[in-house]
Amino acid sequence: MLAQLDQIEQKALDELQAAADEEALQQWKVTHLGRSSPLMRAFDGLGGLPKEERPQIGRRANEVKRRLEEALEERSGALRQAAVLRSLSAERLDVTLPGRPVARGRLHPTTLTMRQITAVFAEMGFQVYRSREVELDVYNFQLLNFPPHHPAREMQDSFYIDTGSERGDNPVLMRTHTSPGQVRSMRFIASLYPGDPPPVRLVLPGMSFRYEQVTSRSEMQFNQIEGIAVGRHITMGDLKGTLSDFARRFFGQNVRSRFRASHFPFTEPSAEMDIECFVCGGAGCPVCKRTGWLEILGCGMVHPTVLANGGYDPEVYTGFAFGLGPERIAMLRHRIDDIRNFYANDLRFLEQF
């Protein structure tokens, strides 16, 4: 009897190896574990065995059953796995086909650049202050130490507003820079604490306007970001440190900057800040006009007249101010060779950002 069971087991296991799909497995199961399978019949025959043989044969029969069931499970798993593996090779995608496009929105490149700039200054405590685009000559020029007929006005040709009346030395105009915000913001902040004006640390982003023919290098409308810091202990060293920190944050930690003497009526001393050309590394190239340096911003110590006009006693307070052009910086960074791209709003340009 035991030999018979061995035989049953061996035969079933042999046939299981030949079963190659789910159907064959079912067939095998019926044949070897089904009601009328030799194994089941062996169980059925247990009752007819002599009493002393019964436990041994019964144990063995159960063992065979368990082994056959395990073998079936194992074989079945192996077959399923093989089937999955077979199907994988059939389910191959062309992964080089393009993805399903998503309608993506974008910010205008000047918005992007302005955000990047104001973000760096925000971390240094400079907050955003905005002021109007149509201004009085007094705010745009006179309070900034450009008296009427000052030669420096020639560098800032203005669009004037037709007010229908003769306004003498205080015409209405499109602001030529965001600097009128210097006096407006200082007056605002000083007004919060009359008699004891608190320190000022602001950036003033916004659109500015110059009466200039639109060419690849000049626009009649462009953004500016002005910055101003006023307090009791602010020095030109702080100006250099703050702006060099900005340059390293914005253009790269290894970027060198330099300050050249220059002139703006509303700052004194005044400076132009250059950074080492990031295109050629300072060796000289067409982008930096072969000088190795890129002019990035104008800056200086706030002129005593401007401090006084803003409500800050120049005998007590000092400050620095700076102004930079987001379009110019975007042009340098992205090698945009025509400033007109910004306000032409051609999607072929805008969609590159």
Partner 1 sequence: MKVPISWLKDFVEIELPVDELAHRLTMAGLEVDEIRFVGLPLPGSGGDGKPGQPVTKISGIEWDPEKIVTAAVLEVKPHPNADRLVLCELDDGAQTHIVLTGAPNLYPYKGLGKLEKPLKVAYAREGARIYDGHQPGQALTTLKRAKIRGVESYSMICSEKELGISESHEGVIILDDEAPVGVALVDYMGDAVLDISLTPNLARDANILGVAREVAAITGKPLRHPDYDFRAEGAALDDMVSIVIEEPELNPRFAVGLIREIEISASPYWVQRRLHLAGMRPINNIVDATNYVMLEIGQPLHAFDYDLLVKRAGGKAPTIITRRARQGEELTTLDGVKRRLDDFTVLVCDTLGPVAMAGVMGGLETEVTENTRSVLLEGASWNFINTRRTVNAQKLPSEAAYRFSRGVHPAMATRGVGRGLEMMRRWSGGVVYRGLVDNYPLPPVDSVVEIGPPEVRRWLGIDLSAVEIAEILERLEFKTVVQGERVLAATPDHRLDIGTGVIGVADLMEEIARIYGYERIPETRMADELPHQLGNPEFEREERVRDLLVNLGLQEVVTYRMTSPERESRLLPDPSQAETDAYVRIANPIANDRNVLRRSLLSSLLEVVERNARLGERLALFEIGPVFHALPGSDLPEEEARLALALCGRRQPPAWQASEAAAMDFYDLKGILEGLFSALGIEGVRFEPPGAAEGVSSSSFHPGKCARLRLGERELGWMGELHPLVRAHYELPDAPLLAADLSLAALLECIPAHIQVEPLAAYPPVLEDLALVLDEAIPAERVEQVIRAAGGRMLKGLRLFDVYRGGQTGEGKKSLAYSLTYQSSEKTLTDEEVLKIRQRIIRELEKELGAKLRA
| Residue 347 found at the interface with partner 1 (CB under 8 A) | yes
Nearest approach, Cβ of 189 to partner 1 (angstroms)?
A: 8
Rule CB under 8 A: say whether 119 interacts with partner 1. Answer: no
For 31, counting Cβ atoms within 10 Å of its Cβ (0-12 exposed, 13-18 middle, 19+ buried), the class is: middle
Q: Which is nearer to partner 1, 76 or 111 (CB)?
A: 111
Q: Which of 209, 246, 250, 322 binds partner 1 (CB under 8 A)?
A: 209
Residue 134 interacting with partner 1 (CB under 8 A): yes
Does 111 participate in binding partner 1 (rule CB under 8 A)? yes
CA dist list (Å): 32 to 6, 24, 28, 43: 13, 12, 6, 13
101 binds partner 1, rule: CB under 8 A:
yes
Q: Which of 84/214 has CB closer to partner 1?
A: 214
Long-range Cβ pairs for the range 340-345 (8 Å, 24+): 340/214, 340/215, 340/216, 340/219, 342/108, 342/109, 342/110, 342/219, 342/222, 343/219, 343/221
Q: Is residue 106 close enough to count as binding partner 1 by CB under 8 A?
A: yes
Residues 220-259 that bind partner 1 (CB under 8 A): 220-221, 229, 231-238, 240-242, 244-245, 258-259
- Figure out which of the listed residues 60, 187, 249, 263 binds partner 1, where binding follows CB under 8 A: 263
Q: Return the residue of 128, 287, 333, 340 that touches partner 1, per CB under 8 A.
A: 128
Q: Does 163 bind partner 1 (CB under 8 A)?
A: yes
Q: Is 304 in the site for partner 1 (CB under 8 A)?
A: yes
In the window 59-98, what residues touch partner 1 (CB under 8 A)? 97-98
Q: If binding is defined by CB under 8 A, does position 116 make contact with partner 1? A: no
For partner 1, which is the closer residue by CB, 130 or 249? 130
CA-closest candidate to residue 324, choices 241, 222, 183: 222
Counting contacts by CB under 8 A, is residue 152 touching partner 1?
yes
- CB count within 10 Å of CB 301 equals 21
| Residue 201 binds partner 1 (CB under 8 A) | yes
Long-range Cβ contact pairs of 31-37 (< 8 A, separation 24 or more): 32/8, 32/68, 33/65, 33/68, 33/69, 33/72
Instruction: Tell me how far, at minimum, the Cβ of 159 lies from partner 1, in Å.
Output: 5
Of 212, 201, 320, nearest in space to 259 by CA: 320
Please report whether residue 287 would count as binding partner 1 according to CB under 8 A: no
Q: How far is CA 326 from CA 79, 109, 113, 116, 205, in A?
A: 65, 9, 6, 10, 9
Report how far residue 167's alpha carbon sits from residue 157's, in angstroms, rounded to the nearest whole number: 18
